[in-house]
Amino acid sequence: MKKDIITCIILCLSFCCHAQLATPCAAPATDKHFQLLKESIKETDHDDTRLEAAKDLIASNCFTSAQVLGLCKLFLMDASRLKIAEWAYPRTVDPGNYAKVNIAFESETFTKELNTFINNATQAH
Using one digit for the tens of pLDDT, what is the confidence trace for 55-83?
999 999 999 999 999 999 999 999 999 99
Question: What's residue 21's pLDDT?
Answer: 40
Task: Compare 26 and 101 and report the one with higher pLDDT.
Answer: 101
33 has a pLDDT exceeding 90:
yes
pTM: 0.80
How confident is the prediction for the chain on average, in pLDDT? 85
Instruction: Decide if 41 contacts 54 (C-beta within 8 A).
Output: yes
Give residue 125's pLDDT band: very low, low, confident or very high (50, 70, 90). low
Residues 42, 112: Cα–Cα separation, whole Å = 27
